[in-house]
Amino acid sequence: MTARGPAGGVTLPPKPSDRGRKARPSGVQRAAAERTRTTIGRRRVVNVVMIGVTFVAAILATLPLIFILGHLIKAGASSINPAFFTEIPKPPGETGGGMANAMVGTLVLILAASGFGLPIGIGAGLYLAENRGTVIANGVRFLSDVLNGLPSIVMGIFAWQFLVKPMGKFTALAGGIALGAMMIPLVTRTTEEMIMIVPVSLREAALALGYSRWRTSLVVVLRTALPGIVTGALVAVSRIAGETAPLLFTVLGNQFWSTSLREPIAALPLQIFSFAISPYDEQHSLAWAGALVLIGIVLVISLAARFATRSRFGRGGD
Amino acid sequence: MAATESPRVPRPSVAPNAEAPAANARVRLKAVELSAFFGSSEVVKSISMSFRDREVTAIIGPSGCGKSTLLRCLNRMHETVPTARVAGTVTLDDQDIYARGVNAIEVRRHVGMVFQRPTPFPTMSIRDNVAAGLQILGRERPSKTETDHIVEDALRRAALLDEVSGRLKESAFGLSGGQQQRLCIARALATRPAVLLLDEPTASLDPISTQKVEELVYELRQDMTVVIVTHNMQQAARVSDRTAFVLAGELVEFAPTNALFTTPSDQRTEAYITGRFG
């Protein structure tokens, strides 16, 4: 169907404002046209400048990572060989040796921290989302934000005071709990935010089917929000994987093989730290290699988890 | 396609609502002096009405008149909103669903509901969406083969089976809006509820999908009680046996659909159906 104007095709008499079109423009009109031209010109310039500025910012944002990776590869790649992944550190002065125990130690610590921090963080986030606006929820949210800003060295001191001291020795468990406590506020907030964007209509649909409240939360809401929550958990894991300060007070480090939670354990950040401050060039190079591997581990964890939570149906859509 | 005003649904020659509906049809669901509140504001004011078995009851009225709230009181969904409160009684097969000791979850299994916007669960396949209501039955939960049969049957009753057979394992989000809405109806039907509540089920659908849902509603009345809230008076006229007109939380008139639309007894009803307000 063709659209018809209000006048149904009849030509309208020119509006008063149209009448002067063909006539010579007055001084006022010329000035207005001149102003429009300069305005448009200025807008074009501003547009180009702003695109340029934001482009440079975007490049600068990725530059540190590229620079760091480049330097790590340059300084550490030469020390990466099979022995690096299979052997424990050699005593100072001897060449060779690796960081196998520290890599395994870091994985053990990540698992322990996740086992402690994820259930609490996700549970707390679920509580905050389901009880929005209550005094308790607001209090918990505020305290969780404060905990998020807590310096990691403070967390380490507390873990030493309340875990290491009573137990009488440095343990991997204490380190796992300290790292897990650092994960909690991050996981709590992302869980809450991801759950809040699940539409109320979905929750109502489940309730109307006869789902109980907790089942609705777990089966429908949490599952729908899962990809976002996993991403949040990964950010938290990446953040704690490289933490050094809390580990100094809790797991101490270990030059030998140990995977026990009840013993001091080696960890990559600690090993990097102790090699970096040693006087031997051989160990400096190993420290660079360790840093490269640490970044690699974080990368692999996030890729693996992304793959695992990839929607069964692809991106979906409308 | 027929014009909007003409009835789209093929009527059986002995349509039960050609004249007044059979007066002896059994009352399935009954509201007695039902009031609903949000905080201190009363949005449903002491409404009493009965919904009969094997009939479609339409509830019409202007926006914000409380018709959706009224519907949500019938399966205890109203109380899931903070500060919401209900007074009065609603009986399902002569049992008060608001009585002490009655589990709201149990009520919702017997009184299904479909909402204005399609709400398929995004993490589930088409099959799992339909079976969602069966997964929570605990010990009475059907086996996998039984579930497959129930899913197929529910999809057939929702007139969706032909369109989705062969892709039951795919995401429900791949369906069109109208298909998603029929999927939601199939999901509500799978648990074999006695009553189906439809809250403006076609409000977000195109005309062809609307027609399919209307035909479906007309079919469903053969073995269940259907209550449909609608903005669309033509729709109420097409699909329902009885129509209730609600205004500002009060039940103005409740009569057989033909009578209400041709000879309304209340002036306000007449004003509304002739388009003078709302």
* Average pLDDT of chain A to the nearest whole number: 86
- Which residues, 6 or more positions from B123, have their beta carbon under 8 angstroms from its beta carbon? A220, A223, A224, A226, A311, A312
Whether residue A259 is found in the same domain as residue A117: yes
* Average pLDDT of chain B to the nearest whole number: 87
Find where tokens 């009031």 sit. B35
Closest by Cα among B195, B190, B133, B134 to B157: B190
Is A204's CB within 8 Å of B105's CB?
no
Whether residue A217 is found in the same domain as residue A190: yes
Q: CB of A249 within 8 A of CB of A160? A: yes
With respect to residue A314, please indicate whether it lies within any of the assigned structural domains: no
Min mean pLDDT across A15-29, A37-51, B196-210 is at A15-29
- pLDDT confidence of residue A79: 86
Between CA A202 and CA B254 the distance in angstroms is 32
With respect to residue A219, please indicate whether it lies within any of the assigned structural domains: yes
Whether residue A252 is found in the same domain as residue A114: yes
- pLDDT confidence of residue B231: 87
A13 or B194: which leads in pLDDT = B194
- Angstrom distances, CA of residue B183 to CA of A207, B117, B126, B161: 17, 12, 8, 9
How many CB atoms are closer than 10 A to CB B20? 14
With respect to residue A18, please indicate whether it lies within any of the assigned structural domains: no
- Which residues, 6 or more positions from B145, have their beta carbon under 8 angstroms from its beta carbon? none
pTM, whole model, 2 decimals?
A: 0.73
Residue A308 has pLDDT above 70, yes or no: no
Residue B166, exposed/middle/buried by CB under 10 A (0-12, 13-18, 19+)? exposed
- At B15, the pLDDT band (50, 70, 90 cuts) reads very low
Whether residue A166 is found in the same domain as residue A301: yes
Residue A10 has pLDDT above 80, yes or no: no
B122: nearest CB among A208, A215, A224: A224
Is B108's CB within 8 Å of A201's CB?
no
How many CB atoms are closer than 10 A to CB A61? 9
- pLDDT confidence of residue B188: 94
Residue that terminates a domain, selected from A25, A60, A78: A78
Nearest residue of A to residue B75, measured between CA atoms: A208
pLDDT in tens, A260-293: 888 889 999 999 999 999 888 888 888 999 999 9
Is A208's CB within 8 Å of B115's CB?
yes
- pLDDT confidence of residue B205: 86
Provide the residue ranges of all domains of chain B, joining segments of one domain with +. Answer: 27-118+187-273
Is A204's CB within 8 Å of B170's CB?
no
Residue that terminates a domain, selected from A18, A47, A78: A78
Whether residue A140 is found in the same domain as residue A249: yes
Min mean pLDDT across A71-80, A88-97, B218-227 is at A88-97
Residue A182 has pLDDT above 90, yes or no: yes
DSSP for residue A23: S
- pLDDT confidence of residue A232: 87
Coil, strand, or helix at residue A265?
strand
The stretch B158-170 carries a mean pLDDT of: 90
Nearest residue of A to residue B104, measured between CA atoms: A210
B136: nearest CB among A202, A210, A224: A210
Give the total number of structural domains in chain A: 2
- pLDDT confidence of residue A17: 55
Closest by Cα among B49, B86, B92 to B253: B49
With respect to residue A240, please indicate whether it lies within any of the assigned structural domains: yes
Min mean pLDDT across B20-29, B95-104, B153-162, B254-263 is at B20-29
Residue A184 has pLDDT above 50, yes or no: yes
The stretch B226-234 carries a mean pLDDT of: 92
- pLDDT confidence of residue B22: 54
How many CB atoms are closer than 10 A to CB A244? 15
Interface probe with B: pick from A194, A197, A209, A217, most Cβ of B within 10 Å? A209
Residue A12 has pLDDT above 90, yes or no: no
Q: How far away is chain A from the Cα of B25, in angstroms, using its nearest Cα? A: 27
B133: nearest CB among A209, A223, A314: A209
Whether residue A74 is found in the same domain as residue A179: no
Is B122's CB within 8 Å of A205's CB?
no
Q: CB of B184 within 8 A of CB of B120? A: yes
Instruction: Give chain B positions within 8 Å (CB) of A226.
Output: 123
Nearest residue of A to residue B72, measured between CA atoms: A208
Is B132's CB within 8 Å of A206's CB?
yes
Residue B131 has pLDDT above 90, yes or no: yes
- pLDDT confidence of residue B7: 44
Between CA A240 and CA A263 the distance in angstroms is 20
Q: Which domain holds residue A280?
A: 82-308
Instruction: Give chain A positions within 8 Å (CB) of B119.
Output: 199, 201-202, 204-205
Q: Hey, is the C-beta of B103 within 8 angstroms of any chain A C-beta?
A: no
With respect to residue A8, please indicate whether it lies within any of the assigned structural domains: no
Residue type, A152: S
Find where tokens 């991801």 sit. A194
Residue A73 has pLDDT above 70, yes or no: yes
- pLDDT confidence of residue A112: 95
A204: nearest CB among B115, B132, B187: B115
- pLDDT confidence of residue B3: 43
The stretch A60-74 carries a mean pLDDT of: 92
Cβ within 8 Å of B, A 202-231? 202, 204-212, 215, 219-220, 223-224, 226
Instruction: Give chain A positions within 8 Å (CB) of B136.
Output: 209-212, 215
A208: nearest CB among B113, B122, B123: B113
Whether residue A143 is found in the same domain as residue A52: no
- Which residues, 6 or more positions from B121, have their beta carbon under 8 angstroms from its beta carbon? A202, A205, A206, A220, A224, B128, B129, B132, B172
With respect to residue A174, please indicate whether it lies within any of the assigned structural domains: yes
Between CA B75 and CA B81 the distance in angstroms is 13
The stretch B93-122 carries a mean pLDDT of: 92
Whether residue A52 is found in the same domain as residue A180: no
Whether residue A55 is found in the same domain as residue A107: no
Q: How far away is chain A from the Cα of B121, in angstroms, using its nearest Cα? A: 7
Whether residue A52 is found in the same domain as residue A144: no
> pLDDT exceeding 90 applies to what percent of chain B?
68
- Angstrom distances, CA of residue A124 to CA of A106, A138, A270: 26, 12, 31
Token code pair at residue A71: 């330097």
Whether residue A128 is found in the same domain as residue A241: yes
Q: Domain of A114: which CATH number? A: 1.10.3720.10
Buried b (16+ CB within 10 A) or exposed e, A110-146: bebbbebbbeebbebbbbbbbeeeeeebeebbeebee
Residue A7 has pLDDT above 50, yes or no: no
Is B117's CB within 8 Å of A201's CB?
yes
Residue B106 has pLDDT above 50, yes or no: yes
The stretch B135-164 carries a mean pLDDT of: 88
Q: What is the CATH T-level fold of the domain B27-118+187-273, as seen in this structure?
A: Rossmann fold (3.40.50)
Sign of the Cα torsion A270, A276, A282, A288 reads positive
The stretch B229-248 carries a mean pLDDT of: 93
Residue A25 has pLDDT above 50, yes or no: yes
- At A5, the pLDDT band (50, 70, 90 cuts) reads very low
Buried b (16+ CB within 10 A) or exposed e, B217-255: bbebbeebbbbbbbbbbbbbbbbbbbbbbbbebebbbbb
Whether residue A161 is found in the same domain as residue A267: yes
